[in-house]
A and B are shown apart, each in its own frame.
Chain A
Amino acid sequence: KNEVEQSPQNLTAQEGEFITINCSYSVGISALHWLQQHPGGGIVSLFMLSSGKKKHGRLIATINIQEKHSSLHITASHPRDSAVYICAASYNTDKLIFGTGTRLQVFP
């Protein structure tokens, strides 16, 4: 069983919809990361958080330490948001434990 679980695995949306991707982890962490991977492989870090909530543009990430759960929200989704979104946990080092990713497709 992976230490980091994501849902859903696949997600399709119409442009403008509000999107939520969920992530749960099995033990206490130092930080939770949300990353974006486009076709071709490049990975971009979106957020690193250990408590509360962070916002960047249309993206919002929240974490609930007690429930070992994090969510990534995309408001007013756009086709250019189509990508794989991955959550990853770091414990006592920079080593990241990755979830399996959520493939998001946003249609015009």
Chain B
Amino acid sequence: DAGVTQSPTHLIKTRGQHVTLRCSPISGHKSVSWYQQVLGQGPQFIFQYYEKEERGRGNFPDRFSARQFPNYSSELNVNALLLGDSALYLCASSPGTSDSTPRYEQYFGPGTRLTVT
């Protein structure tokens, strides 16, 4: 069974540009979460989606948005890129639960390394 996949692996963008990052969860997983990891720090929560609905949003500006598709894959969009957006963006999936109770381990993708110049 394939694990969580993310694309692209690496990306270089210029300040002010827009970027779309993609994530495909493990088959059968309905919950997808996005995290930003700046070099030397622990990951920070950006969004969680379950069954195509947003379940949680971290402390990130409105330049960050996401969505989940009917096949449970997800996109993270970042507009008006800043130098500080340079980071490893991680996607994690789990089966999820209808009542939000965390009952399952999360499985992480390899990440997309975004560099903003």
Contacts and interface: CB of A to CB of B under 8 A. Distances in A.
Interface of A: 30-31, 33, 35, 40-45, 48, 86, 88, 90-101
Interface string B69-93: 0000000000000000000101010
B115 interface: no
Contact of A95 (B56, B88, B101): B56
A78 B102 CA distance: 32
Contacts, number: 74
A41 B96 contact: no
Contact of B90 (A43, A48, A90, A91): A43
B48 A93 contact: yes
A100 B39 CA distance: 11
Interface stretch (B14-22, B60-68, B105-113): B105-113
B33 A94 contact: yes
Contacts of A43: 43, 90, 92, 108
Nearest to B93: A94
Given A30-B101, A41-B113, A42-B111, A94 B42 contact: no
B106 A45 contact: yes
A43 B93 CA distance: 12
B98 to A, nearest CB: 12
A48 B105 contact: yes
A41 B44 contact: no
A95 B48 contact: yes
Contacts of B88: 41
B102 A94 contact: yes
Given A42-B111, A101-B42, A96 B106 contact: yes
